[in-house]
Structure 1
Amino acid sequence: MDELPELTSQDLTHLRRCVDLAREALADGDEPFGSVLVDPQGAVLREDRNRTAGGDQTRHPELELARWAAAHVAPEVRPACTVYTSGEHCPMCAAGHAWVGLGRIVYAGSTAQLTEWRHGWGLPAGPVAPLPINDVAPGLPVAGPALELADELRELHRQCAERDVAS
């Protein structure tokens, strides 16, 4: 995996926004995930959050941003864009990202972290294998996790798990 040893202050700023979006998603009854698409100059092009509460489990923000980029960002610009996300892309989102031709992915929380947290809370595994991004899309540059955001992310996912078990 092509992970960077340290995240930049710009990376952390965008990742914090992703965590805010994840918090919004949780408050709205969705799973806590948020993502931001940034152009090569560092400007935010689009942001989104998880919208799966309605029953469509494909409404992940990473896939929504890839779809949006396919329609609104020139193909030659996409590889220089960065997607920031609160959680490492699932296989579906990693594939969508790669097929659209977007560039770097920076995530706050890893698939391994989320899998460990969920296991520790006694939750069942999801229906899709918890693969790292580069197992699905080997050429994508990735960075993460942001250890300084781990406690906050774990708490959001714990709240989600408790809500789901209670319902």
Structure 2
Amino acid sequence: MIDDADRQHLQRCVDLAAQALESGNEPFGSVLVSSDGDVLFEDHNRIGGGDHTQHPKFAIARWAANNMDVQDRATATVYTSGEHCPMCAAAHGWVGLGRIVYASSAAQMTKWLAELGVPAFRVRPLPISDVISDTTIEGPFDEFASQVRVLHVRSNKGYG
């Protein structure tokens, strides 16, 4: 179950995803929050330049590895507009980050994009739990997934 603080962080992720779209990137945004509730790092997708590893969740993992100790990483929460891709899930697991809360799932996004006629991704969208274990994972949440869907439709308006 998510609380009001979780909802606030998820809304920020959706807002960051909208910023990503406005700057020519795919609509994804993520926030790293300490166990005390402090926002430590936030970012949005930056793949518009051609480097498809510039995902916000991967940036969070890098930042956490360089700026947090093991215990603080384990008790932090990553909020994100879209479920981690396999690359980001692996980075999350290797760095030892804690709880994940996501607005929309990889399965939802795959369905939305297929409905728009967007070709399938080269990397299969797997559930986070197929990549890492021993992590609390919560999502999707319809109140935010519907907002994320609108962003994906805007992002892919040339298809379909």
Given the two structures, how large is their TM-score scaled by the length of structure 2? Answer: 0.97
1:135 corresponds, among 124, 130, 147, to 130
Percent identity of paired positions between Structure 1 and Structure 2: 54
- Residue 21 of structure 2 aligns with which residue? 26
Structure 2 residues not aligned, in runs of 5+: none
Deviation of 1:138 after TM superposition, in Å, equals 2.1
Equivalent of 1:46 in 31, 41, 63: 41
Structure 1 segment 44-123 matched on structure 2, within 5 A: 44-123=39-118
> Would you say how many aligned residue pairs link Structure 1 and Structure 2?
160
- Partner SS state of residue 40, structure 2: strand
**SS of equivalent to 1:77:** helix
Q: What is the distance in 1 between the residues matched to 2:77 and 2:106?
A: 19
Q: Match for residue 154 of structure 1?
A: 149
Task: Identify unmatched segments of 5+ residues in structure 1.
Answer: 1-5
Verify: 1:17 aligned to 2:12, yes or no: yes
SS of the aligned residue for 1:107 comes to: strand
Amino acid at match of 2:33: V
Large movers: runs of 4+ above 6 Å = none
**Whole-Å Cα distance in 2 between the matches of residues 56 and 99 of structure 1?**
21
The CA distance in 2 between the partners of 1:58 and 1:8, in whole Å, is 31
The answer on whether the counterparts of 1:7 and 1:146 sit within 8 Å (CA) in structure 2 is no
Aligned-pair CA distance for 1:76: 1.8
In the TM superposition, residue 130 of structure 1 has moved relative to its aligned partner by 1.0
Cα distance, 1:100 vs structure 2: 0.3
Partner Cα separation in structure 1 for residue 138 and residue 7 of structure 2: 11
Give the Cα–Cα distance (whole angstroms) in 2 for the partners of residues 7 and 147 of structure 1: 12
Cα drift, residue 91 of structure 1: 0.3
TM-score, reference length from structure 1: 0.93
- Give me the whole-angstrom Cα distance separating, in 2, the residues matched to 1:109 and 1:57: 20
Distance 1:100 1:151 in 2: 30
